[in-house]
Chain A
Amino acid sequence: MAEFNELIRNFDKIRDYIRDFYIYGFKSRTDFTHKSARTYDNERRRIESYMGEYMKWDYSKSGKTAFISMDCAKVPVNPLYAAWKSKAFTANDIMLHFYILDIMNVSETLSLEDLTDRICGRSGQTFEIQTVRNKCREYAAMGMLEVEKRGKVFFYKRSAKTLETLAAIAPNLPEAVKFFQGSALFGEIGSFILDENQIKNDRFSFQHNYVAHTLEDGILLELLSCIRKGEAIAFVNYSEKRKSTSTIEGIPLKILISASTGRRYLCLYRVYQRRFTTYRLDHIKSVTPMGECPEIMEYREKLQKNIDRVWGVGFGGRSRLEVICMKLYIREGQEDFILERIRREGKGGELLRLEPDIYLYTKEVYDASEISPWIKTFTGRIIQLEGTNDAVISRFYNDIDRMKAIYGIEGSTWNYSQKSTDVITP
């Protein structure tokens, strides 16, 4: 039996387990059926090791459940970045890493022969020149070494670019890295920089911080590269509904991001269907570039024209726009914060004052069902809801009836004028 190794070679191996432990948190060993129980045990053990204090346990009827739990507003650095810092390596990898960095400096170039001799001398161990060459090539491609060709011989020197040299130009750069590691895309890269420079984020906290999405960053990097190059792609997508994977082709145009849930989507133009479709990044398993798309500018412009009428990520099943009108009771002077919220979150929908304390919000969207959750946040002050999508309107009214039943509210006995500080007199 192979010895258990804390580190891993393949990131995909651990991605779904971490996600399940964090997002769901109630699954026990028997619920993880897609791989063997032994694989589950190994992955759980690794994740426990990476997550430390954020890993918790509980016992339910179906057995012991392991889950990751944290108040994200209180963590200075996303603990899930640890997954990106768990790549396995060989003894040669780590030895050459430190001896190359140790011997190389920014002003002196060294040939491979020289470098290999010095490494062997310092370590007291023999290294093949080919092994050193491979590592130097890899580090030159990564930007840590600079390479210079003189005749047929390659010379290497250490790159002079460090956070310290850049901070000499911009002294607040380390503070900026502390901030952006928690608030920008690919925050794990900021965390790599902080780790290497032994800097801790003691300055910034992040509210509405959705840590799980770092796990999709490998896919995101590939997609952004294809979007930039205007390349068509084929990708393997997992369908939650069908519980199966399929390969989808199209032109990637944008990444859509929800600031409320952190969820990220690929906006794709599907050429044969002649429509825009969105796919969740956490459902995309792999991406293959398929070559440049000559019509890319046309699709980008088309998307730009339409994107303001998409409430979330749904482009709807029809080309016809749907209208939704919500009449609201808002006490002027006392509840102006509600008006502010509508202006802030209402995505440019029209807000009309019909009479004192009565307002009408109207918005045209491609898929009215997407606006429903937001509408329901005004529960208790909606005088009337109307729209062109009857299913959405009747669902709202039915939902309120169902909620009344679930909570055991007796309409006739509820004395709101006594209990409420927020009396409605429409």
Chain B
Amino acid sequence: MELFSEVYGCYYSVVAGILEQAKTGMLRTEIESMVQEQAFYESTFHLLPRLFGGEWNLLEQQADRKYYSKTGSDRVRRPLTVLEKSWLQALLLDVRMGLFLEQTQMVALKQELGDIEPLFYPEDLHVFDHASDGDSYEAESYQENFRIILNACQNEHPLTIAYENGRQKRQTYHVLPYRLFYSNRDDKFRLSCALIQKGYPYRRMVLNLGRIRKAEPEERVLSENWQEQLKYIMERPARSEPVRFIIYNERNALERCMLQFASWEKQTEYDEAKGQYHCTLYYDKQDEPELLIRFLSFGPVLQVLGPVDFLKNMKERIAKQWMLNNRMD
């Protein structure tokens, strides 16, 4: 089974789309914009000449100057390959699949995929540092809530959520779901949603699915322009001033640091004169406690320079520890 095949390639995918649309004719400019939108940045220079020049012999230009597909049917999309079916078989062994499919559906799907072996088996993998208190994917109530929330996301309807916070206090929220966040490290789902008042989304909120006691669809009528308001609330940047730090050239700190912070947007420069690396990392305010302990975990091979509040928190933690180490018992 080959992962790297032209069959999965960007060009094949874009050309399939063009052939589908070109059944009824497409203008050259329409094809060009489709390639610009869906293919790689430079593909217009490489793909289009072959498509228009006849090298690939898939389109023909007719008297109305439009390009028509030479394929006669609607069947330009390929069936699933063994590799793809094998990947789907592997997913059927994942407990999280139970969130999406009923047990009977999983059995039927397994049968339909036939005797194709799963691409990988959970027992051949060992995740050594994920949280031990991941969500209970197999609990019936969790699965039920998950499906109600997923359905509400698909159909864009509000929910009433009975929620138990970290102090075991129950609260009820009326929300409009937006996205489901998943963290591999925490092994948890979180619902990113907006609180609604008088049919109007007004504040962003994140709820742990593991703490949702009951999710119920709501019949509430939403205000006219709720979609724009939701988008505005949810996509408004919650960025803090970036954190700036130095990585010293010892204990393989650069490599460890780059991997540790790979999932954040950042920029690194090498200061040749000092033999150090200067990094600027952009983060959301909510990530600050996590970032702080990650920085501390590097010890003296990483030095935070700013922003002021972040630096103050680092210094405070170090000062406390130094005093604990040097106290007179």
Contacts and interface: CB of A to CB of B under 8 A. Distances in A.
A64 B269 CA distance: 11
Given A254-B126, A340-B133, A402-B299, A260 B260 contact: yes
Nearest to A307: B126
A361 interface: no
B221 to A, nearest CB: 24
Interface in B288-317: 293-294, 296-300, 303, 311-312, 314-317
Contacts of B186: 207-208
A82 interface: yes
Contact of A204 (B42, B154, B182, B321): B182
Size class of the contact patch on chain B: 35 or more
Interface string B129-172: 11111000000000000010010011000000000001000000
Nearest to B45: A6
B101 A172 contact: yes
Contacts of A193: 80, 84
A52 B40 contact: yes
A117 to B, nearest CB: 14
Interface stretch (B10-18, B194-202, B207-215): B10-18
Residue from the set B78, B255, B258 with the largest chain A CB neighbour count within 10 Å = B78
Chain B facing A: main interface SS: mixed
Interface size class of A (residues with CB under 8 A): 35 or more
A380 B83 contact: no
Given A224-B120, A379-B318, A6 B42 contact: yes
B181 interface: yes
B275 interface: no
A291 interface: no
A218 to B, nearest CB: 6
B268 interface: yes
B9 A260 contact: no
B124 interface: yes
B269 A26 contact: yes
A5 B324 contact: no
Contacts of A420: 316, 320
A88 B6 contact: yes
Nearest to B329: A426
B34 to A, nearest CB: 12
Given A22-B262, A182-B182, A382 B79 contact: no
Contact of B319 (A208, A218, A409): A409
A390 interface: no
Interface string A108-149: 000000000000001111000000000000000111100000
Contact of A192 (B84, B108, B315, B317): B84
A104 B72 CA distance: 11
A89 B9 contact: yes
A39 interface: no
B240 interface: no
A307 B50 CA distance: 55
A60 to B, nearest CB: 5
B72 A7 contact: no
B66 interface: no
Interface string A165-178: 11001101101100
B46 interface: yes
Interface stretch (B24-32, B88-96, B222-230): B88-96
A141 B116 CA distance: 13
A212 B262 CA distance: 8
A376 to B, nearest CB: 5
A240 B255 contact: yes
Given A6-B40, A170-B108, A373-B298, A144 B185 contact: no
Contacts of B319: 404, 409, 411, 414, 416
B182 A383 contact: no
B6 A24 contact: no
A179 B1 CA distance: 23
Given A72-B263, A205-B179, A407 B41 contact: no
B269 to A, nearest CB: 5
Contacts of B147: 172
Contacts of B297: 373-374, 376-377
Nearest to A12: B4
Interface stretch (A90-98, A231-239, A315-323, A350-358): A90-98
Given A60-B270, A159-B80, A162-B77, A402 B300 contact: yes
Contact of A411 (B84, B132, B166, B326): B326
Nearest to A23: B258
A101 B78 contact: yes
A370 B81 CA distance: 42
Interface in A347-387: 347-348, 372-374, 376-377, 379-383
Interface string A335-347: 0010010011101
Nearest to A185: B120
Given A82-B10, A85-B9, A208-B185, 7 more contacts: A7-B11, A88-B6, A175-B100, A185-B90, A207-B263, A403-B299, A404-B318
21 contacts: A49-B42, A70-B265, A72-B264, A85-B9, A94-B56, A176-B91, A195-B8, A203-B180, A212-B262, A224-B120, A259-B185, A259-B187, A261-B259, A345-B129, A373-B297, A377-B296, A380-B317, A381-B324, A403-B300, A411-B323, A420-B316
Closest A-B pairs by Cβ, 10 of them: A143-B82, A380-B317, A102-B71, A402-B300, A89-B6, A259-B130, A176-B100, A72-B263, A373-B297, A170-B105
